[in-house]
Amino acid sequence: MKNNHKLLLLAAVGLVPAGLAAQQLTLAGALARAATSGYANRTAQSEVAAVRAHALGALQGIVPSLRIEGGAARTTDPLSAFGFLLRQRAVTPAAFDPAGLNDPAARTNWNAAAIAEIPLFNADTWAGRRAGNAAVHAADANAGWIGVSTRLQVVQAYYNARLATEIVFTLQTAVATAEAHVRDVNSRLTQGMVTRSDLLLAQVRAGEIDAQLIGAKAEAQHAREQLALALGTPGDTAFSLPDSLPTVRRIRELAETLATATVGRAADAAAAAASADAARRDLGRATARLLPRVNAFARYDWNDSTAPARGNGSWTVGVQASWAPFSGFAELSDIRAARARAAAAGTMAEAAEAEAAMRRAAGERAVTVALARLQIAEDAVAQGSEAHRLVSRQYAGGLAGITDLLGAQASETTARLALAQARVALITAIAARQLARGADPAALAALEN
């Protein structure tokens, strides 16, 4: 009944469209949705696909290739004309007539050929293949970093939306209490037990809470829109959220459990290290361009005077070695640029490791501070609730005025709002600590179990 009551309340205040209150979004569901629809995740996966496709290009100098050629030519050039006759196997004794050799008639040749090229030794290509594979690994690692960062953002957006909803619930209760106070003061005024100023004070206080509630509703809707944006579905806010935040005890237990988990390597540091490795391998690729290349080839040709792919075929096989020790500083430029990129990537990897260590320590401190603030907020709620109860009894007995009662109610409401904020602050601090420790913020989904 409690869940249904709060879902209906959400629909009433406009945070959930009517008829859609049962579509509850859990943190696990939000994380799953962001994994496939989140903008950053989709972009990262596209970049990985692009790097993977580019890496295939290095196979050109490793695996054999086959191409088909065809064409036609007509000439009166003596050498070419006689060559056409030879290729077409059409040479006769008359072809050696000096007049015909010196001034041949125009001749046509249709040529078709199948050419296979077999790489034997291309050191730069093999080094490029290794560099390409390292680049794919680096892109995967970067996508992993983006994925885990997105999960942290989803956890933060999800619990910010739940906090905004909790604030609406708390202020709804405060409004109902304030309205009850106004009715009570009005009744006492008709009995001559209080003055009109008491009624005005109660009405002012009720109006202040109403104003807070209006702002809270707007903030709650904005928080839902931010969550939908983090999920990559900005047009879809037709979901409800769990009716209350996790208990203080459950949050503390999870904080302690995750604090003892094994510490891994921060995803951003791992991605930076993979990028540095890819840059070093690319330097090896650039350096290998200075080495000789050895390749084999085989081709089969058809030559005919009337149509392509006709006539007697001929074959040719061979091996070719090439070496370009100097090509106008092209190789030197490539090597120097690759060396500079490798140095920059190495420096970035060192910086990422240092930043990860600093963030890990900061994450531990943030959780410690959040735990302390949560305890203070929890004590404040207990004290504020008890104070409100005592002042209410004093007011009922004529020992306290309406100002005292309204002040006690305001203190309790403020304390309850602070407790909700402290709970969410601890949750998001735990999630950030997970990221800093090289763990997964998705572990926060355990709060829903």
- pLDDT of 66: 93
170 pLDDT higher than 90: yes
pLDDT-derived band of residue 3, with 50, 70 and 90 as boundaries?
Answer: very low
- Check if the beta carbon of residue 185 is closer than 8 Å to that of residue 402: yes
Token representation of residue 232: 């990559």
Tens digit of each residue's pLDDT (9 = 90 or more) over 176-194: 999 998 998 898 888 888 8
Token representation of residue 135: 């680049």
- Check if the beta carbon of residue 420 is closer than 8 Å to that of residue 364: no
Q: Which residues contact 299 (CB under 8 A, 6 or more apart)?
A: 113, 114, 115, 116, 315, 316, 317
What CA–CA distance (Å, rounded) separates 115 from 318?
12
Mapped onto helix, strand or coil, the DSSP state of residue 284 is: helix
pLDDT-derived band of residue 353, with 50, 70 and 90 as boundaries?
Answer: very high
Q: Please name which of 146, 365, 361, 152 lies closest in space to residue 268, comparing C-alpha atoms.
A: 146
pLDDT-derived band of residue 9, with 50, 70 and 90 as boundaries?
Answer: very low
Q: Give me the percent of the chain exceeding a pLDDT of 90.
A: 71
pTM of the model: 0.82
Tens digit of each residue's pLDDT (9 = 90 or more) over 368-414: 999 999 999 999 999 999 999 999 899 888 888 888 888 999 999 99
- pLDDT of 312: 84
Q: How many residues does the chain have?
A: 449
- pLDDT of 12: 43
54 pLDDT higher than 50: yes
- pLDDT of 25: 92
Span of 222-226, 235-239, 335-339 with lowest mean pLDDT: 235-239
Average pLDDT over residues 309-332: 86
- pLDDT of 400: 86
Mapping DSSP onto H, E and C, the string for 173-223 reads HHHHHHHHHHHHHHHHHHCCCCCHHHHHHHHHHHHHHHHHHHHHHHHHHHH
Token representation of residue 373: 């603030």
Tens digit of each residue's pLDDT (9 = 90 or more) over 102-158: 999 999 999 999 999 999 999 999 999 999 999 999 999 999 999 999 999 999 999
- Check if the beta carbon of residue 73 is closer than 8 Å to that of residue 111: yes
List domains and CATH numbers for the chain: 2-58+126-282+330-448 (1.20.1600.10), 64-122+292-322 (2.20.200)
11 pLDDT higher than 60: no
Token representation of residue 2: 């409690």
- pLDDT of 263: 81
pLDDT-derived band of residue 18, with 50, 70 and 90 as boundaries?
Answer: very low
Q: Please name which of 167, 306, 161, 144 lies closest in space to residue 237, comparing C-alpha atoms.
A: 161
436 pLDDT higher than 80: yes
Mean pLDDT, the chain, integer: 90
* Sequence-separated contacts (24+) of 250-258 with Cβ below 8 Å: 250/447, 251/374, 251/423, 251/426, 251/427, 251/430, 251/447, 252/371, 252/374, 254/430, 254/443, 254/444, 254/446, 254/447, 255/367, 255/371, 255/426, 255/430, 258/430, 258/433, 258/434, 258/439, 258/443
